[in-house]
Amino acid sequence: MAQPSSLLGHNRASADLRPGASSDRLRLLSELERKVLWLSSWTIHHANHIRPNRDGLKVGGHQASSASVATLLTALYLDVLRPQDRVAVKPHASPVFHAIQYLLGRQTVDKLQAFRSLGGAQSYPSRTKDGDDVDFSTGSVGLGVAMTSFAALVQDYVRLQGLAPTGEAPGRMVAVVGDAELDEGNVFEAMLEGWKHEVRNVWWVIDYNRQSLDAVVSDRLYSHIDDLFRNMGWRVVILKYGKKLERAFAGPDGAALREWIDACPNSLYSALVYKGGAGWRKHLEGDIGHLPGIREFLAGHDDASLHDVMTNLAGHDMQTVREAFHAIEDDLPTCFIAYTIKGFGLPFAGHKDNHAGLMNEGQMATFQASMAVPEGAEWDRFAGLKSPPEELEAFLAAVPFTQRAQRRLAAAAVPVPASLPVPAGKRQSTQEGFGRILSELASGDQPLARHIVTCSPDVTVSTNLGGWVNRRGLFDRRERADVFRDEKVVSAQRWQMSPEGQHIELGIAENNFFTLLGALGLAEPVFGARLLPIGTLYDPFIARGLDALNYACYQNARFMLVATPSGITLAPEGGAHQSIGSPLIGMSQDGLTAFEPAFVDELAVLMRWGFEHMQAPDGGAVYLRLSTRPVDQPERALTPDLTRDIVAGAYWAVPPAEGAELAIVYQGALAPEAIAAHRMILEDIPGAGLLAVTSADRLHRDWLAGVRDGERGHIGRLLARLAPDAALVSVLDGHPATLSWLGSVAGHRIHPLGVDHFGQSGDIPDLYRVYGLDADAILDAAARACLGRR
């Protein structure tokens, strides 16, 4: 069996010295582990074979993946974890997680019976949809793993900053990892970043069943996995063989048996696991049967017990697993590589096609009999177990993990001032305005600023966070000098690092950036600390971390994403950096409200709203798409009506005459072109309106909600001023579909301008001309729109 390159003797824990540990404990845990295996298998079976199926679709659920971690998860939840620990369970072990919570009285039978159906236990553990206290959702493999590392960083941050409840020991951030999850690059990106930040209190427990979805993994693949971890400062604990195998190895010619199994290719081992005792016997006889000790060993076991010994991998050996977990007492990041068998204890154990395999009725009946679960008692918590229910009940009631009723925490809201300062300046970009607003906040002593934490994937300075960082410093667990400053090298940036710093500087990996934003954005429920995370990156590179962004939103993490520069307006910076589809991402991403202000006063309004939205019970994350283009700022007062409309997503910059036949609609950095074109149009169409859109996302959402109620929302009310057959010309530096739907609101004809191809460097006049976004292009579109009038 392929194994990590070295087995460290000192990592093999030998005795459980924990107070209270006893053979009783082991007996009860082993019994409950059986029950967990039963309940998880039965939950999936019930959903697929017993519950009525209305649409003919496969329901699914993963009996083999679940069986693989029954021991590990039972040991963790029923013995090892403490209330402050937080866990990401590999997605396909959801039934095991729910079964354990059910045993603990934290999950209902109704939800198990409704597994994978509406309102039931979720297919993959979900912190927002499941009621049994999922800490971190999983589903997209690799992301939950990385999440634990960033959560550990956030735990350090809130503790060192004095933002977390005091008097609590730090929790361990634990990921139960499918071995194929390590194919995902984001896991290694997270490891590297974790190493830079010296993360602590992270455990990754790898369910090393050497099988993925399609296949048995290559023998060579994992030969260096432990080195990889060690290079990143992790302790590696390899759990390979269980007590029965270890005993066999200690017997006559046991060394040969160990050598045989160590050398056994993954696929042969898996095939023999599937075939059972006779298969083991044949191969052992053929390969090492000439040795007297092996002959004796084989003669001493019937097929069933031979199979039992040969499949006694450490990940299924409760005693070995407990010893290993309890042996860790420090906070060094620790990776447990636990050898397991996919489908352990089930008829398709080890079969290469078992990922989606389900026991059929006959196999389930045999399995049920072997579990001694009487018919009708399938959901019973203790049926078929030997220990008396009172003893099991008492054991479960004393499980350390549940000794605190509430593991989800709350923190008081931070007051948000009635308005944020609008930086003075006749001509500035939204990106510059953002930097100045934050810088202003940094120099004050408002509680809001204390709770803001910023982060950026190596674009802190180029996204204008420099002023904030100069004042608030970088976060590091240790005090670190700013060498350039100490050496009197002139620089506009002060990079003082300390535990008080409020900026977390990341390497370039955007996936890490979004995972960190997710972890920071869950600081309240997970660590009881109120954070207002702001993350900056270049708008095009949202795509680079999109799955992690989606993952953060899926968990209802609260953060402010500031993406700048954006679109083709970054002009000379080149075609590779142009973002076209990001406004559509902003519109379509659930849990994220997207804005694209044109002016700095709008930005101040939206940031203020964002800080409240990030804290509201029914709020969410916020995305601000900004630009580096300096534009003339309007001289105006932010009246309550204007403020409200900026937040609602649009306002009339120039209101149309009642019944006007044309309106120009713009979003973001193209305001000057729209304003110029509109001014020219007024000569021919004096009543034409100019509509400023600050959030296509909010307008669209409100419109859709209104459509359901027979109304047209905020945008419907605005457009009602136009003639029923009026024309619209919309323009933005992004995909035209962002605004083209406006034509449907009141049945107006629309000419949507925007960017639908990209990749060209240039200056703004050239690019706007080439892509058809300049004032001339808007005028042309308006003329065509008016000519095409019915």
List interacting residues with Mg ion (CB under 5 A).
178-180, 209, 211
Rule CB under 6 A: is residue 730 a binding residue for ligand TPP?
Answer: no
When CB distances are held under 5 to 8 angstroms depending on the partner's kind, the choice from Mg ion, ligand TPP, none that residue 625 binds is: none
Length of the chain: 790
- Residue 606 to residue 669: CA distance in whole angstroms: 16
Pick between residue 67 and residue 526 the one whose CB is nearest to ligand TPP.
67
**Choice between 62 and 530, CB closer to Mg ion:** 62
Q: Which does 65 bind (CB under 5 to 8 A by kind): ligand TPP, Mg ion, none?
A: ligand TPP
Minimal distance, residue 340 CB to ligand TPP, in Å: 8
First CA to last CA across the chain, in angstroms?
A: 76
Closest to ligand TPP by CB, 338 or 726: 338
Neighbours of 83 (CB within 10 A): 16
Beta-sheet strand order (sheet of 689-693) = 650-654, 689-693, 660-667, 722-732, 749-753
Nearest to Mg ion of 148, 209 (CB atom): 209
Q: Which is nearer to ligand TPP, 209 or 515 (CB)?
A: 209
* Measured distance CA(743)–CA(730) in Å, rounded: 10
Nearer to ligand TPP, 178 or 473 (CB): 178
Report, in Å, the least distance between residue 268 CB and ligand TPP: 18
CB of 94 to Mg ion, least distance (A): 15
Q: Tokens standing for 653?
A: 């910059």
Amino acid, res. 510: E
Burial tier of 585 (Cβ tally within 10 Å: 0-12, 13-18, 19+): buried
Pairing status of strand 86-89 against strand 173-178:
parallel
* Residue of 626, 623, 648 whose CA lies nearest to 558: 623
Q: What are phi and psi of 13, to 5 degrees?
A: -65, 140
Structure tokens at 434: 């953002």
- If the CB atoms of residues 212 and 564 are measured against Mg ion, the closer one turns out to be 212
Q: Which is nearer to Mg ion, 211 or 428 (CB)?
A: 211
Q: Tell me how far the alpha carbon of residue 750 is from its chain's centroid.
A: 38
Query: CB of 177: closest distance to ligand TPP in angstroms?
Result: 7
For 265, residues 6+ apart whose C-beta sits below 8 A from its C-beta are 1, 2, 219
* Binding window for ligand TPP (CB under 6 A); candidates: 173-181, 322-330, 438-446, 715-723: 173-181
Q: Which is nearer to ligand TPP, 449 or 509 (CB)?
A: 509
Q: How far is the CB of 43 from Mg ion (least distance, A)?
A: 20
Question: Which amino acid, residue 495?
Answer: W
Q: Is 40 in the site for ligand TPP (CB under 6 A)?
A: no
| Partner whose binding site includes residue 560, from Mg ion, ligand TPP, none (CB under 5 to 8 Å by kind) | none
Peptide linkage before 565 cis (omega within 30 of 0): yes
Rounded Cα gap, residues 141 and 180, in angstroms: 8
Interaction of residue 178 with ligand TPP, rule CB under 6 A: yes
The option from Mg ion, ligand TPP, none interacting with 92 (CB < 5 to 8 A, set by class) reads: ligand TPP
342 binds ligand TPP (CB under 6 A): yes
Closest approach of Cβ 116 to ligand TPP, in Å?
15
x/- contact string, 122-151, with ligand TPP (CB under 6 A)?
Answer: ------------------xx----------
Closest CB to ligand TPP among 30 and 140?
140
Is-contact 423 409, C-beta < 8 A? no
Q: Which of 207, 440, 602, 645 binds ligand TPP (CB under 6 A)?
A: 207
Beta bridge mates, 664:
690, 729
Between vectors from CA 561 to CA 558 and to CA 565, what angle results, nearest 5°? Answer: 175
Q: Compute, in degrees rounded to 10, the torsion defined by CA atoms 279, 283, 289, 291.
A: -120
Return the range that interacts with ligand TPP (CB under 6 A); candidates 103-111, 172-180, 254-262, 759-767. Answer: 172-180
Is residue 179 near ligand TPP by the rule CB under 6 A?
A: yes
Question: By C-beta, is 17 or 213 nearer to ligand TPP?
Answer: 213
Span of 156-164, 206-214, 392-400, 485-493 interacting with ligand TPP by CB under 6 A:
206-214
The strand ranges marked E within 544-682 are 560-563, 592-595, 621-625, 631-632, 650-654, 660-667
Phi, psi at residue 723, to the nearest 5°? -65, 150
Our CB check for ligand TPP shows the closer of 46 and 355 to be 355
One symbol per residue from 81 to 110: x for binding ligand TPP (CB under 6 A), - otherwise; what is it? ----------xx------------------
Residue closer to ligand TPP by CB (options 345, 467) is 345
CB of 68 vs Mg ion, minimal distance in Å: 7
- In 3D space, the residue among 347, 351, 370, 373 whose CA is nearest the CA of residue 360 turns out to be 347
175: which strand partners? 88, 204
For ligand TPP, the binding residue among 12, 35, 116, 355 (CB under 6 A) is 355
Residues in Cβ contact with 737 at an 8 Å cutoff, skipping those fewer than 6 apart? 584, 752, 754
Could you say whether residue 515 binds ligand TPP (CB under 6 A)? no
The answer to the question of residue 213 lying near ligand TPP (CB under 6 A) is yes
Task: Please report how close the Cβ of residue 72 comes to Mg ion at its closest, in angstroms.
Answer: 12
Among 79, 85, 181, 645, binds ligand TPP (CB under 6 A): 181
Spatial separation of the C-alpha atoms in residues 645 and 509, rounded to whole Å: 36
Q: Are 194 and 153 in contact (CB under 8 A)?
A: yes
Least Cβ distance, residue 8 to ligand TPP (angstroms): 23
Q: Smallest distance, Å, CB 212 to ligand TPP?
A: 4
CA 588 vs. chain centroid, Å, equals 17
Instruction: State the nearest-atom distance from the C-beta of 164 to Mg ion, in Å.
Output: 35
Give yes or no for residue 189 binding ligand TPP (CB under 6 A): no
We find the least distance from the C-beta atom of residue 246 to Mg ion, in angstroms, to be 24
Three-class SS of residue 58? coil
DSSP assignment string, 736-750 = THHHHTHHHHTT-EE
Residue 577 as a binder of ligand TPP (CB under 6 A): the answer is no
Residues 45-74 that bind ligand TPP (CB under 6 A): 65, 68
What sign does the CA torsion over 704, 706, 711, 712 have?
negative
User: 3-state DSSP call for residue 532?
Assistant: strand
Q: Which residue is nearest to ligand TPP (CB)?
A: 178
**Closest CB to Mg ion among residues 44, 549:** 44
Residue 211 near ligand TPP by CB under 6 A: yes
| Cβ proximity to Mg ion, 205 vs 248, nearer residue | 205
Rounded to a whole number of angstroms, the minimum distance from the CB of residue 530 to ligand TPP is 31
Which residues are within 8 A (CB) of 577 and not within 5 positions of it... i.e. 6 or more apart? 538, 540, 565, 570
Is residue 180 a contact point for ligand TPP (CB under 6 A)?
Answer: yes
Q: Which residues pair with 174 in a beta bridge?
A: 87, 203
Residues 291-320, interacting with ligand TPP (CB under 6 A):
none
Contacting residues toward ligand TPP, per CB under 6 A: 65, 68, 91-92, 140-141, 178-181, 207, 209, 211-213, 342, 355
